[in-house]
Amino acid sequence: MSLFGRIFKRNGDSKRKEGANLLPPRRVTQPATPKPARAVGNPLLAWYLEILALVITLGCVIAIAVLLSKMNGRPLADWKMEASFNTVIAILGTISRTTLAFAVSSCIGQQKWGLFRQEPDQLRVFAMFDQATRGPWGATRLMFLLRTRHWATLGALVTVGSLIFDPFLQASIGSIGSLKAIDSAGRATVGRATNLSFGRPVEVTVFTGVFQVNTSAGYFSADSIAVEPDLGFASAVYNAFYNSSASLDQSVRFTCETGNCTWPPYVSMGVCNSCADVTQHMIREHGHGENGSTTPQPSNIQMSEQDPYTRYNLPYGSISNYDMFRYSGQMTAISTGMVVNVTLDPSETIHFKDTGSLLASILTIKGSPEYLLKNQTWNSTTPVATECALYLCGKVYDSRVVEGVLQEQVTSSWAFRRKSSYQAIANPRMSLDESKARAWTAEHPVLYDIQAYRTDLQISSEPVEDANLHLNVTQGSLLTMVMSLFEAISGTLPPSGEQIAYPGVIAYSFQSIGGPPAFSTALFQSQNLSETFDRVAHQLTNHLRSNATMAYPGMVQNWIPYVRITWGFFALPLATVVLGFLYVLLSIIESYRLRIPIWTNDSLPTLIHGLDNEAQSVLRPLYGTKEGETKVNNHIMEFSKEEERLRLIQ
């Protein structure tokens, strides 16, 4: 119910009559001219409350702008007050919004008298002005009622804009973070292998003349060199080949106390890999006979000399099956699905003859998908041959720890074996003089050497002798790594090893007595050999780096939050204040020009200077129904200058 509804209620007369009968009769003396509460005079005195509110608003907004500008781009830690930066801004924003709303609402209340002093208007306009002084909802209704026909819409707009004053002010305060190096006691290290030394050699002496090794410079008596196995590296080999989504990837050992650290690019020893398709190098041959399958057959399966077979040959591996075979893993007739062999000598490989740091080259010849799916017979398909090499190399790393997680990228790698490294050492007791040692080194480039002691292997950053960076590997480390790889692949110690056939089950009367090594099963089930050996190289590299004797120091970083001010969001609260200032100043000027008493949004002037009894007698019967209220709102009235009251015109 509007203001007039509360004043002119239907039962008001009866209640006043009852009250009048209870009070003794008195004589009411009417003053000649009522004096307003704040008469027109000096505007600074008449509007002192509103002007004080504007000053407070201006001071708060200036303080907000100064604080925002000062803290923009600075670390949040630079704010030293007990209350947070956002809290202080919120307090200043609330004060400025509240004081501005007070001044604007006073001016809206004052403007209703100025509007009706200048020209008559409907009663609903007067009531709508009164509602606009109470909050944004009334201001919204006044704004849509007046639109552009009176500039009081500006005050209503400022009142509505105060709703989003605080949200936009807080939205202007954001934060960004960056990692900054700190000079704290925090420590940052990451595994870096530059000198591998594990697998302690154990000398086994053989009588002179019993174990003779031939070189172009003559024979020498060799000592058989053995090494104590490194169980950590052997475990890493098996974990690498049989790793799956269910097992955990071995990460590099690192320390970073803050959870954010960086390292400059650095070089570390590692294991690299490369795979090549060598199918085109296979030589195909046909034959007849009992030994036509790489996989031995059960004793109750006899093949005749007339049974045809097809064999595919490579330098250190071959696969064959009887022509009519389709792939089968059953006991009664076993066909070969894949063969695996390994070599330690680069000269025996197909694709890696120039790899001087070769640890092992693994050759797989696997039946074609059509054959393995039993869609075609053996002689109508061609198997796929892949050669993968694992070799020592140097890698350049770009490492960082972000939120406790190590992130690394290999930017480059190389595998240049320094020619002057890994030289056989002369030993008079072995009849190994300098000339024989040089001959043995040149004629035996394989890293796995148990006949003669050697100097450290060096991997250089460039294929030249005077390269500045060298990564050292002892002979014991090389023997341990090669032995672990060879034993995992072939099931025997190097260098003697035979190719492995998969499935390779030997059965007699349907009773299995043997099977393929688990390694061949892992390779057979691999969907991508290149990815498999990538994982192997990665795991072995991580093991070497994690067990290095010296870790690489880095830079400890801390996450520093910075204040970021979005001035676009601050523009709306600032525009609200500017428009509010403009509106209040114009309202003060208008009131002074019209010589209207400063009543603002006070309700007493409405009671004292309201409609007379005659006007109320016309309006009161209409008020109370929807149709009657519409008629009341449409009546025209004015604020009479002569009578200093509201007067009903129409």
The more confidently predicted of residues 184 and 245 is 184
pLDDT, average across residues 290-314? 71
Residue 26's pLDDT band (boundaries 50, 70, 90)?
A: very low
Instruction: Give the span between the Cα atoms of 586 and 136, in whole angstroms.
Output: 21
Confidence at 435, pLDDT banded by 50, 70, 90: confident
| Range with the poorest average pLDDT among 179-183, 338-342, 589-593 | 179-183
- Return the ∠ at Cα 65 (arms to 61 and 68), rounded to 5°: 135
d(CA 341, CA 622): 109
**pLDDT (0 to 100) of residue 13:** 42
What band does 219 get if pLDDT is binned at 50, 70 and 90? Answer: confident
Could you give the C-alpha distances from 604 to 132, 464, 609, in angstroms and in order?
17, 102, 8
Count other Cβ atoms within 10 Å, centred on residue 153. 18
CA–CA separation, 91 and 637 (whole Å): 44
Residue 429 tokens read as 């007791």
What is the average per-residue pLDDT within 130-137? 82
3 state SS of 413: strand
DSSP 3-state of 365: strand
What does the block give as tokens for 460? 């250089």
Task: Supply the pLDDT for residue 365.
Answer: 95
**Predicted confidence band at 609 (pLDDT cuts at 50, 70, 90)?**
confident
pLDDT of residue 465: 52
User: Which stretches of 450-519 are assigned E, i.e. beta strand?
Assistant: 457-460, 470-473, 500-502, 507-508, 511-512
d(CA 326, CA 337): 10
Pairing of strands 201-204, 224-227: antiparallel
Q: Residues 498-515: what's their mean pLDDT? A: 58
For residue 503, is the peptide bond before it cis, meaning its omega torsion is within 30 degrees of 0? Answer: yes
Nearest-5° Cα angle at 83, 80 to 89? 100
Mean pLDDT confidence for 40-52: 75
More confident residue, 63 or 511: 63
Examine the pLDDT at 33 and tell me if it is beyond 70: no
The β-bridge partners of 390 are 273, 360
Tell me what pLDDT residue 549 has. 81
Give the pLDDT score at 464: 53
Q: How many CB atoms lie within 10 A of CB 534?
A: 16
Asked if 161 and 571 touch (Cβ cutoff 8 Å), the reply is no
CA dist 344 and 541 (Å) reads 19
Q: How many whole angstroms separate alpha carbon 7 and alpha carbon 406?
A: 76
Mean pLDDT of the chain: 79
Instruction: Please determine, for residue 1, whether its predicted confidence score (pLDDT) is greater than 70.
Output: no
* Token pair in block for residue 395: 């890698």
- Asked if residue 364 lies in contact with residue 316, where contact means CB atoms within 8 angstroms, the answer is no
Convert the pLDDT of each residue in 469-489 to its tens digit.
779 999 999 999 999 898 888
Q: Is the pLDDT of residue 322 over 80?
A: yes
How far apart CA 47 and CA 548 sit, in angstroms, is: 82
Question: What count of other Cβ atoms lies within 10 Å of the Cβ of residue 69?
Answer: 11
Dist CA 308 CA 325 (whole Å): 10
Q: How confident is the model at residue 429 (pLDDT cuts 50, 70, 90)?
A: low
219-233, 401-415, 575-589: range with lowest mean pLDDT: 219-233
C-alpha distances in angstroms, 319 versus 223, 311, 325, 457, 608?
Answer: 37, 6, 13, 36, 115
Provide the percentage of residues in the chain whose pLDDT is more than 90.
Answer: 30
- Residue 623 is given by DSSP the state B
- Residue 348, pLDDT > 90, answer yes
Among 221, 227, 226, 230, residue whose Cα is nearest residue 204: 226
Q: How many CA atoms lie within 13 A of 224 on its CB side?
A: 8
The pLDDT confidence band at residue 460, using thresholds 50, 70 and 90, is: confident
Which among 385, 456, 454, 383 has a CA at the least distance from the CA of 418? 456
- pLDDT category of residue 42 using cuts at 50, 70 and 90: low
The number of helix segments (H) and strand segments (E) in the chain equals: 19, 28
**Lowest mean pLDDT: which of 156-160, 430-434, 607-611?**
607-611
pLDDT higher than 50, residue 135: yes
Quote the pLDDT of residue 506: 42
| 3-state SS, residue 136 | helix
Q: pLDDT-derived band of residue 430, with 50, 70 and 90 as boundaries?
A: low
pLDDT tops 80 at residue 418: yes
